Structure 1
Amino acid sequence: MVIIEILNVVLPVFLLMGVGFVVGKWMKIDSKSVSDLSIYVFSPALFFYSISASQMDMGDFGRIVLFAFSLFLIFALFIYAVGKIFKWDKTYQNTLMLASGFPNAGNYGLPIILFAYGEEGVAIGIIYLAMQSFLMNSAGVFYASNHAHVPKKDIFLQVVQMPGVIAILLALALKIAGIPIPAAVENATGLLGQASIPTMLTLLGVTLASIRIKNVLSFIGTAAVFKLIALPALAFLLLGLIYPAGSLEAKVLLVGAATPTAATTTLLAIKFGMNPDMVSSAMFVSTVASIVTIPLLLLMV
């Protein structure tokens, strides 16, 4: 039964990617323009609406923030250390971080959390999603734009000017201050946000239609192992230091961290020219492999 429910969550993802794949094979699509539309309009609206409309438990907020940022920093150090051992260049390490350091805690993670742990689990998952969205729109932009020829000042400006970062910070500020969102703004951001996920997944299919998997097999294998095994293992160890064993928070956050690579990373890779074929391929393969890893994790915890 668990496998059937998870397939019901995963299969629509593949159907949307399939539509994009077919369109990409038969039509000439300007992926960068579509990517920019999602990054600058649809995704910020989704982040703002998700945070402002959620019932966040501010008492748990601090520990979830601590977990999300600590896990990211630990994993970044892990990638850096492994890169030193195998003498990977900076571009390869940055691409690997994009392909394995950002979980799909939203459109993939939240439905699974809802099925496994109910509305109480979703409330925790939404806070984690907000932190992951912030990391993708700040650290993710840094890794995607950190080419050898790009000045550090320009990278910093790219990060602080990202609409996703602004939307998240604004929504959090309004939430903490208790300022209500006008109904017109909430409805508008909700409608725009609904376009974000199908746009991202369809664009991913378009990108996959133009790549040659055989050219990036080694990278895909490394990224999938890091994302589906190494990152959840580090999350498990970190959660043991923050939450009591077997707590609902620990279970939800572990599942969120164990989800496959977020589709937003492909958008960033396309926008900033950071090996989008490698990032999108790793995202696709990690999503396929998660059909096995996520049910196993749910059975274990």
Structure 2
Amino acid sequence: MSLLGIFASAILPIIAIAAVGFALGRVKGVQPDALNTVTVYLLAPALVLHSLATSELGGSTILEIVAAVAVFSLAMIVLAEGIGRASGRSEPLLGAFVMVVIFPNVGNFGIPLADFAFGQVGRSVAVLVTAVQGVLLYTLGVYVAARGDEGAVRENVKRVFSLPLVYAVVVALAARWLGVVPATDSTVMQTLELLGNASIPVMLVVLGIQLSSVDVEGALRPVGLASGVKLLAAPAVALAAALLVGFGDATVARVVVLLLAGPTAVTPIILVGAFSGDTDGITASEFVSATVFLTTVASVVTVTALVAILQSGVVI
């Protein structure tokens, strides 16, 4: 498939739906809170339950996915710390720099992208990666944002256990292990499928609304380095992690690389805003917000190229 064809089939639907959310945010002043709550507590868990319960991902594949995400995150921490310190950044901007480089938007950007690019396998892998990253965000992410405030870290690590996604993964995997997954044509599974399918467009609308409220005026230039590392270095690190883990299924490996190479996640804006200290000039929150905006826009080019490379089977 040509780059134009890949763009039209995998990237354009994402842009179009997110653009609707962006317009709603800018023109109507719509806030993402209500939609985000519905997504986090209802739609996304339903997607996780249905996708993992009905997917063909084996236990070894699940372990491979978790291992690849862990290896990638560790490598990106080392890389981000090194580049951040070498460029003269200090706290709290150093913590913000590390946050935007480590965490890709595997939720409201990655799940639809993987679904459009790789179908059911892509969706199943994406929901698992999203759950794993949810745990990392509220443990490792809080630590990086707080940088030494042990009380804040300890208190907010508890948020991991309030995430429905985590429990949805446990329930789905337990049902598979016990052999009690309902038939796909049962009322329960059809309801979960309906709710799960609704989560994908809603996630993109929420992403658009979130981007519409980002204040990037005067903040784009300072985030160029972070954005470059996120969009150019992260794909190479993700590929290295996938090859190191040695996936038995090449398609799963390609989806993992695609997800980890995506634009910066939105959640770091919240974490940095809650725990980061004050600074002169651009604030840590403005730095993260501008990076989210820039990497999301620029990823239209980088992700299209990456999908073409991955679908060709040249590297994996």
Within 1, Cα distance between the matches of 2:232 and 2:247? 22
Please say if 1:221 is aligned against 2:218.
Answer: no
Structure 2: runs of 5 or more not aligned? 275-283
Within 2, Cα distance between the matches of 1:197 and 1:95? 29
> For 1:216, what is the secondary structure of its paired residue?
coil
Identify if the C-alpha distance between structure 1 residues 27 and 244 changes in structure 2 by more than 3 Å, giving closer, same or farther. closer
Please say if 1:87 is aligned against 2:92.
Answer: no
Identify if the C-alpha distance between structure 1 residues 210 and 260 changes in structure 2 by more than 3 Å, giving closer, same or farther. closer
**Which residue pairs with 1:112 in the alignment?**
117
Contact 1:79 1:93 in 2 (8 A): no
Shift of 1:3: 1.4
Identify if the C-alpha distance between structure 1 residues 249 and 168 changes in structure 2 by more than 3 Å, giving closer, same or farther. closer
1:138 paired residue among 110, 119, 135: 135
User: How high is the TM-score relative to the length of structure 1?
Assistant: 0.79
Tell me the percent identity.
24
Look up the equivalent residue of 1:7 and give its one-letter code: F
Within 1, Cα distance between the matches of 2:272 and 2:34? 12
Contact 1:144 1:269 in 2 (8 A): no
Within 1, Cα distance between the matches of 2:26 and 2:299? 26
Identify if the C-alpha distance between structure 1 residues 213 and 161 changes in structure 2 by more than 3 Å, giving closer, same or farther. same
Show the 5 A alignment for 1:49-64.
49-64=50-65
Contact 1:255 1:294 in 2 (8 A): yes
Q: Deviations over 1:174-196 (max 9, x none)?
A: 22332213633322222222232
Look up the equivalent residue of 2:128 and give its one-letter code: M
**Which residue pairs with 2:261 in the alignment?**
258
Tell me the number of residue pairs that the alignment of Structure 1 and Structure 2 aligns.
290
Look up the equivalent residue of 2:111 and give its one-letter code: G
**Which residue pairs with 2:210 in the alignment?**
207
Shift of 1:155: 0.9
Structure 1: runs of 5 or more not aligned? 115-121
Look up the equivalent residue of 1:3 and give its one-letter code: L
1:197 paired residue among 188, 197, 200: 200
Shift of 1:108: 0.7
Contact 2:97 2:288 in 1 (8 A): yes
Shift of 1:51: 0.9
Shift of 1:17: 1.9
Shift of 1:252: 4.4
Look up the equivalent residue of 1:2 and give its one-letter code: S
Q: Deviations over 1:152-207 (max 9, x none)?
A: 33212111111111111221222233221363332222222223222222222223
Identify if the C-alpha distance between structure 1 residues 241 and 209 changes in structure 2 by more than 3 Å, giving closer, same or farther. closer
Within 2, Cα distance between the matches of 1:46 and 1:244? 24
Please say if 1:129 is aligned against 2:126.
Answer: yes
Within 2, Cα distance between the matches of 1:95 and 1:164? 27
Contact 1:45 1:192 in 2 (8 A): yes
Show the 5 A alignment for 1:177-188.
177-181=178-182, 183-188=186-191
Within 1, Cα distance between the matches of 2:287 and 2:213? 11
